[in-house]
Amino acid sequence: MSSVVTNRFIHCHNALIKERKVRSSRQFALSLDYLPQSLSEILKGRRDVTIEVLRKAVALYSINPNYIFGGSGAMFTYEEVNQQKEGGQIVTIVTDSNDEERIVYVPVSAQAGYGGQLHDPIYFKELPTFCLPDFRFKSGTHRCFDISGDSMEPTLYTGDKVVCSFLEKENWEVSVKDNFVYVIVTKGDVLVKRIGNKIKESGVVELFSDNSFYKPYPVNITDVLEIWFVKVKISPFMPSPTNMRNALHEEVDNMNSTIADQSVLIKNLNGTIEKLLKQNRARI
């Protein structure tokens, strides 16, 4: 006979299936590092759920402990920050009160410590979040990163932002495509580069800059924590091309005027020097 706590756990499992937060009981079991056969025994009421499985389920699916152990409150807490498992990799996400996932914005000031804070909910609570109306951002996990430096010019400039989709580590070998732009996260860096995928051949990704001043270099795939595929670029608003041309012409005209004035000044100065030299020769 299953316990009350086990029955509540089963209700949570059924709700996750119904709301399509998990595809199947098998996926649910694997996400908790639990045997599907053992979960099946629990769902059939033949055994009680373990504390360890409950702990993982609470952390991964925002199941409300008050509901599980005391029968009070909603079934799920839907806390602002939680973690979900994508394939074999845990990624921290941020959701709103309706359990809609939001895009986390990682500014330049936060990028230095990003790789070491990937599973720290406090770190992610302090980062700004937003959503976009485009249907491409209604499913999956996304991040927004600031661009800093000139290594990707003329494609990306300092002050631009890129919105990226999360790539599962188990799929990197086939999903990372040559010459596309990605955000590569290591423990010490957040890099925006084009990639040459050499994971299968030599266990590295080769990183390329669009600015030819910077040379390509390899990064061992074991040093890579996350890879994000760049989908959208957000750039500061620029004046119209006509206004930009007018401003450029005005600047060139001002430079020409300055050069002309300096030429006259130099010519007058040369004349003065020649007069002084003649006067000195006459005295000698």
Question: Lowest-confidence range among 43-57, 62-76, 200-214, 242-256?
Answer: 242-256
| Percent of all residues in the chain with a pLDDT value above 70, rounded to a whole number | 89
Is a pLDDT exceeding 60 seen at residue 122? yes
CB 193 within 8 A of CB 149: no
Whole-angstrom distance, CA of residue 132 vs CA of residue 163: 10
Whole-angstrom distance, CA of residue 104 vs CA of residue 93: 8
CA distances from 154 to 149, 150, 209, 210 (A): 11, 8, 10, 7
Q: In sequence order, what are the beta bridge partners of 144?
A: 105, 163
Is a pLDDT exceeding 90 seen at residue 86? no
For residue 242, the model assigns a pLDDT of: 58
Mean residue pLDDT across the chain: 87
Residue 218 structure tokens: 């390899």
* Angle, CA 150 vertex, CA 146 and CA 154 arms, to 5°: 95
Q: Which amino acid is residue 252, in one-letter code?
A: V
Whole-angstrom distance, CA of residue 205 vs CA of residue 236: 31
Is a pLDDT exceeding 60 seen at residue 19? yes
Residue with tokens 């990605």: 182
Tell me whether residue 49 is exposed, middle or buried, using C-beta atoms within 10 angstroms of its C-beta: 0 to 12, 13 to 18, 19 or more.
buried
For residue 261, the model assigns a pLDDT of: 83
Q: Closest Cα to residue 42, out of 85, 72, 12?
A: 12
| pTM value surpassing 0.75 | no
For residue 135, the model assigns a pLDDT of: 80
For residue 2, the model assigns a pLDDT of: 64
Whole-angstrom distance, CA of residue 93 vs CA of residue 82: 6
Is a pLDDT exceeding 70 seen at residue 84? no
Q: How confident is the model at residue 64 (pLDDT cuts 50, 70, 90)?
A: confident
Between residues 24 and 134, the one the model is more confident about: 24
Q: Which of 42-51, 124-133, 177-186 has the highest mean pLDDT?
A: 177-186
| Three-class SS state of 263 | helix
For residue 173, the model assigns a pLDDT of: 94
Q: How confident is the model at residue 80 (pLDDT cuts 50, 70, 90)?
A: very low
Any residues with CB less than 8 A from the CB of 50 and at least 6 apart, and which? none
104-130 burial, b at 16+ Cβ within 10 Å, e below that, comes to bbbeeebbeebbeebeeeebbeebebe
Whole-angstrom distance, CA of residue 64 vs CA of residue 31: 18
